[in-house]
Structure 1
């Protein structure tokens, strides 16, 4: 009899823990759905704003993410940087980042993500880059508060692989290849006064691919997962009640 009671209590404890864990997983999926719904609303709100003409005096409050924008200036190709490990439809390659000079007197510029190009052929240090003609150019795109990041495994070990040189341009005209690019570090390396935003170019005739990644906003998927976890929690709760009812029946003295 004592053995049966211990088994019943153990089963109730395990089922109670299962109910709590499964219900918490369902609640977590609902929170993820709310986060993705908020991201979608932010994207839609940003893209619904009127196009912004970028200038050195543009207020940071106007530089909202996903807002359409236009900049006029001169390419500074000597400061170009390649961002590694950016895949496009399964193909390995790079993003090309080049600053656009807005005001020569102030050294004011905006960093432009110009587009994707495939990885260099075997034996090449870097792929051929599209030309950056002299003179004024009008660039259109969408704003991002930063260059989208990749997780750097070697950052935990302190390795310098894939990091930005301390000074740009690099001697010999070598185009640096980095994993991630922080605006503050890039401004220090180039000596430019950068706007606190990145312009992701959306149009151009230089052959670069401009299919920029977007955060996942499929909140319906999270809601579906939440329903599954809550269903499992309900099954575990019913099992808890069944085990408890049977335990009570066994504990009653025979009539």
Structure 2
């Protein structure tokens, strides 16, 4: 029974280590695909709409865009409790009405501003040009959600400019704007009172390698302990003391 249990444990932990290596390979392939998208030619407004009709949103993440349009400043949203360089503040999101034959709108993550610790509602000034603008950036999914109370528990946060999270479908229904399914992470130098030192996408490959090392280590340790206690020690007998 001890031998069977040891074999099953060694094989099981080794299989878990192999599974983590497979996950790391998948994440590496995903990171390579995202990196390759970042090297493609930028999409303009009409090309972006066509791309969203042909491919799932996840397949377009990190694709560069260069968009022409006008800011819809009254619908600007400030996502609270967002950090940059370890400092708390707000992500500033403003919808951009795209130039083109259709009335499409894309939500742009324009950058980050610091928090005023004396007054949470006192927002740092952000310049929003009223005329035509050109925005360069990368396609992204909706901003990551943070923990919040149950939906509807805080109705003010769903309508005020300062919010904990933003749901794209709710924002579309609330504003009546034809917002596209993806947002744009604006790139370029800091400007308009905004910082844009966005973190790089981390596929988490190192984490899987770490887990694999742990599982393989446990498997090796159990093998060594089995050999020592069940095999090697049987051949080592303490010398019997001669009878007095």
- Tell whether the structures are fold-level matches, with TM greater than 0.5: yes
Are the counterparts in 1 of residues 45 and 99 from structure 2 also a CA contact under 8 Å? no
Deviation at 1:20, TM superposition (A): 4.8
Q: Pick from 211, 214, 223 the counterpart of residue 200 of structure 2.
A: 214
| Alpha-carbon distance between aligned partners in 1 of 2:153 and 2:3, rounded to the nearest angstrom | 51
Pairing 1:85-104 to 2, within 5 Å after superposition: 85-103=81-99
Tell me the residue number matched to 1:168: none
Tell me the residue number matched to 2:239: none
TM-score under structure 2 length normalisation: 0.79
SS in 1 for 2:110: strand
| Count, aligned residues | 230
The yes-or-no answer on 1:185 pairing with 2:181 is no
| Alpha-carbon distance between aligned partners in 2 of 1:45 and 1:85, rounded to the nearest angstrom | 31
The yes-or-no answer on 1:237 pairing with 2:223 is yes
SS in 2 for 1:58: helix
SS in 1 for 2:41: coil
TM-score under structure 1 length normalisation: 0.76
In structure 2, stretches of 5+ residues that fail to align are: 237-244
Structure 1 pair 119/32, CA: closer, same or farther in 2 (3 Å)?
Answer: farther
| Alpha-carbon distance between aligned partners in 2 of 1:200 and 1:66, rounded to the nearest angstrom | 9
SS in 1 for 2:149: helix
Q: Pick from 117, 125, 129 the counterpart of residue 125 of structure 2.
A: 129
| Alpha-carbon distance between aligned partners in 2 of 1:239 and 1:20, rounded to the nearest angstrom | 15
Are the counterparts in 1 of residues 17 and 215 from structure 2 also a CA contact under 8 Å? yes
Which range moved further: 25-34 or 129-138?
A: 25-34
Deviation at 1:81, TM superposition (A): 0.5
The yes-or-no answer on 1:40 pairing with 2:36 is no
Q: Pick from 81, 106, 113 the counterpart of residue 109 of structure 2.
A: 113
Which range moved further: 182-191 or 198-207?
A: 198-207
Tell me the residue number matched to 1:172: none
| Alpha-carbon distance between aligned partners in 1 of 2:50 and 2:69, rounded to the nearest angstrom | 15
Q: Per-residue displacement from partner, 1:206-248 (whole Å, max 9, x unpaired)?
A: 1311122333236356335423421330221232244443698
Q: Per-residue displacement from partner, 1:153-184 (whole Å, max 9, x unpaired)?
A: 534x863378422xxxxxxxxx5222222222
| Alpha-carbon distance between aligned partners in 2 of 1:153 and 1:21, rounded to the nearest angstrom | 39
Are the counterparts in 1 of residues 94 and 110 from structure 2 also a CA contact under 8 Å? yes
| Alpha-carbon distance between aligned partners in 2 of 1:159 and 1:215, rounded to the nearest angstrom | 32
Q: CA RMSD in A?
A: 3.1
Are the counterparts in 1 of residues 84 and 198 from structure 2 also a CA contact under 8 Å? no
In structure 1, stretches of 5+ residues that fail to align are: 1-8, 166-174, 251-255
The yes-or-no answer on 1:80 pairing with 2:79 is no
Are the counterparts in 2 of residues 12 and 243 from structure 1 also a CA contact under 8 Å? no
SS in 2 for 1:236: helix
The yes-or-no answer on 1:164 pairing with 2:171 is no
Q: Pick from 41, 44, 49 the counterpart of residue 53 of structure 1.
A: 44
Deviation at 1:121, TM superposition (A): 3.4
Are the counterparts in 2 of residues 117 and 209 from structure 1 also a CA contact under 8 Å? yes
